[in-house]
Structure 1
Amino acid sequence: MKVIDIFAGAGGLSEGFRQEGFDIVAHVEMDNHACDTLKTREAYYYLKEKNQLYIYKNYLLGRITREEFYNLIPQQVLSKVIEAEINNSTIPKIFNEIDRQLDGDSIQFIIGGPPCQAYSTAGISRDPNRMKDDPRNYFYRYYMRFLKKYKPKAFVFENVRGILTAQEGRVFKNIKRNMNIAGYKIDYRILNAKDFGVSQDRERVIIIGWKKEIEFSYPHFNKSESPLSIRELFSDLPKLHAGEDVNGIGKYISNIPALGQIRNPSWDILTYHIARPHNNNDLEIYRYVVDVWNNENRLIKYNELPKEVQTHNNKKTFLDRYKVLKLEEVSHTIVAHISKDGHYYIHPDIKQNRSITVREAARIQSFPDDFYFERSRTAAFKQIGNAVPPMMAKLIASELKKIESEN
């Protein structure tokens, strides 16, 4: 079951497909930091298969550099990651590299989600032209090039809800027409990650297409068991204050079997449990917001904060810029803006008084603890915010296996 992951990001989609036994032939991604994350994950799976995970652990513990680590991995493993912007001038070279990886084999599935900023509510609201001239409106055309070249049995196309209504619906109408011309039946649903066991209220459009001659229909996804609450999800992580970090072997405070896919019981290295430093004003706001939630069960608008901590002149729009996670519920949607600040993701424990760590954000997105994000805290937050939750991808992948087994 060979798969190409395009617009791959940090590899949330491919991680879920891989966990279901699919063979990821290539990841195509333009962001350098995300490409290193993909390479490191490829190295992890290679070493796991060879029973040499001690090498991976030595890297996470800082005993060898990234360069030394990559030098211990065969080049054909790392070369599955193709670092390139997908456009008309680069596609021929990308195709050549994928063909080299395939070595005569064929592709059964293509997965990926083109950049969504042109369709997102936030992106449209900030652009005076409402993103109408943004070239990212048409990135789906590059997806079509891959479908026409590799003719997979099926594909998964992920995006934000706004893709359905962009440019008064013309974008989505064109997507459907082009996919039909390429020889595919398609259907879509707005799916919520929390229905797939992910500790996050995250709605996304998932388009699934399959060749017209294949007997298939859009899967009916039975709701998973209730996702873990934030309290349960964070229960084995050390408590931190703003600016602190706890990383390394044996740093978990307990073993929690209920964490399931998030933390394998044998995994003992905690990484990226790093809390941002915050200025005193933000710390005062965080404390106030959490206190109001704990005592009044309501979220504070910016213009309701004490006057002495209100430093922004804009007190009429974007008033929910400070938001606390709710201990007994799942998180609201993690987005890439978390890389800029943590105000929308305040830890619910008033004693810790901080925004969430990279590892906590990764868990909310259902990335396993053995998944390492490359380069920096900021880069990791961005990669996490842009990702498809692997737990959601895994259940989608399990349904697509039927195409391979029944056709």
Structure 2
Amino acid sequence: MAIQVLSFFTGAGLLDLGMHEAGFDVVWRNEYHLPFVQGFKYGFAKMHDASIDDFPVCTSSIENLTPYSIRNEAFSGKVWPSFFGVIGGPPCPDFSVAGSNKGSSGDNGKLTGLYFDQIIGLQPTFFVFENVKGILSNLKHRKYLTEQLYKISKDYAFDIKVMNSLDVGVAQDRERVIVVGFHKSYLHDVLGITELKELGLRNRLLLSKQLHPNIYKQHNWFNWPSIYKFENAKTNFEWPTTNAFGVKDIVCPDNLPPELCVGNYLKGLENIENQNEFFTPKSSKFLSVEEGDVSRKSFKRLHRWRYSPTAAYGNNEVHLHPMLPRRLSVREAMRIQTIPDNYSLPREMTLSNKFKTIGNGVPVKLANHIAQEIYRFFDCPSPKLGS
């Protein structure tokens, strides 16, 4: 039987998709923003040729949920399964460089604390936390994250890493903080007391140094996904810079990995749902911005033979098609987020909500690689406890 998972801040369900593809069974979802719920249900129903009623979502605020209420919804009031996980990426604008930077005092920022409170109450076998790099690179936000991890450290051993989607073959420069934790009762059974104490010492050191980057990078023990072909892709390859807009034939430079070139994801889309959905171009910038010029805060034009900047389509950020005088379409944005082509968003959903829910999610491919390593850990746990 597949390991069951509870999903918070589900959004379009991209983290859920990655977990599902790795063999997990997401049995309960929580999403407060109703347009995102609409998109999620439609997308999953299309993928599975099913009814939207087959994918229920709890729409209560996480502030109003208790472990008891979640148990009754997720497991029909029965006893907890012996293994289950919790996943979630709380809203990140309050920790983002491009956002409000309010941190824990913001309406979104406080949701991170509530997420860790739910972990304490639910006591899952494992959890996954995802957020923007700013929650670790900013001293104020890092202190807040340290406080949250300290709260769970009695029951959990955790590992933390800044992962770039490029490093697992996603054509997008997207850095995210990922925390993976395992319950100590499980680790005690599979690792033994000595190794568990070692993990505890590592966690205490990280917390005492407030997760300082120079410290946490030296103490990883979880087998974080890495594909040698794509490691340090931003610096290991000579990427093209800019070209005049409208040039038809630009040859792809030799030795670039095709998986990381946006142009390869913008082909064969003519008959796929959501491809003809994009904002009508009105500005003269659609004709003047050079291909590959991503220097602006907005109106960034992608280069066909380079990766995309972070797919974040809210807050007035506009990404332009490399070769056409318009923004990316909904489907093109979904391709960049590695969303399967048989996943669609409903016609009646507004374009703003479509782009927002797409940009808020974790690339499915990155989520899947993390999920695979968690699954392997349960199959044959072997944390790297060497120096």
TM over 0.5: yes
Please give the alpha-carbon distance, in whole angstroms, between the structure 2 residues aligned to 1:37 and 1:168.
31
Please give the alpha-carbon distance, in whole angstroms, between the structure 2 residues aligned to 1:105 and 1:289.
55
Where do 5+ consecutive residues of structure 1 fail to align?
57-68, 239-250, 252-268, 301-318
Contact kept, 8 Å, 2:95 with 2:141, in 1: the verdict is: no
| Partner residue of 1:345 out of 314, 319, 340 | 319
Task: For residue 235 of structure 1, give the secondary structure of its aligned residue in structure 2.
Answer: coil
Question: Structure 1 pair 10/25, CA: closer, same or farther in 2 (3 Å)?
Answer: same
1:254-293 mapped onto 2 (5 Å cutoff): 269-279=272-282, 282=283, 284-290=284-290, 293=291
| Partner residue of 2:261 out of 229, 245, 254 | 229
Task: For residue 13 of structure 1, give the secondary structure of its aligned residue in structure 2.
Answer: helix
C-alpha displacement at 1:166, in angstroms?
Answer: 5.3
* Range that drifts further, 203-212 or 165-174: 165-174
1:161-192 residue CA offsets vs partner (Å, 9 max, x unmatched): 111235263202202201203x1011111000
1:1-400 mapped onto 2 (5 Å cutoff): 1-44=3-46, 48=48, 53=49, 69-70=51-52, 75=53, 77-79=54-56, 81-88=57-64, 93-100=69-76, 105-124=81-100, 130-131=102-103, 133-164=105-136, 165=138, 167=140, 169-181=142-154, 183-213=155-185, 214=187, 215=191, 217-223=221-227, 225=229, 226=257, 227-238=259-270, 251=271, 269-279=272-282, 282=283, 284-290=284-290, 293=291, 319-337=296-314, 344-349=318-323, 352-374=324-346, 375-400=349-374
Question: Structure 1 pair 277/147, CA: closer, same or farther in 2 (3 Å)?
Answer: same
C-alpha displacement at 1:155, in angstroms?
Answer: 1.0
Question: Structure 1 pair 376/90, CA: closer, same or farther in 2 (3 Å)?
Answer: farther
C-alpha displacement at 1:376, in angstroms?
Answer: 2.7
Task: For residue 82 of structure 1, give the secondary structure of its aligned residue in structure 2.
Answer: coil
Question: Structure 1 pair 101/358, CA: closer, same or farther in 2 (3 Å)?
Answer: farther
1:234-263 residue CA offsets vs partner (Å, 9 max, x unmatched): 12134xxxxxxxxxxxx2xxxxxxxxxxxx
C-alpha displacement at 1:344, in angstroms?
Answer: 2.8
Please give the alpha-carbon distance, in whole angstroms, between the structure 1 residues aligned to 2:297 and 2:93.
20
C-alpha displacement at 1:321, in angstroms?
Answer: 2.3
Residue of structure 2 equivalent to 1:401: 375
Please give the alpha-carbon distance, in whole angstroms, between the structure 2 residues aligned to 1:401 and 1:89.
28
Percent identity between matched residues is 28
TM-score (norm 1): 0.71
- AA in 2 matched with 1:21: G
Question: Structure 1 pair 102/92, CA: closer, same or farther in 2 (3 Å)?
Answer: closer
Aligned residues: 316
Q: How much is the aligned-residue C-alpha RMSD, in angstroms?
A: 2.5
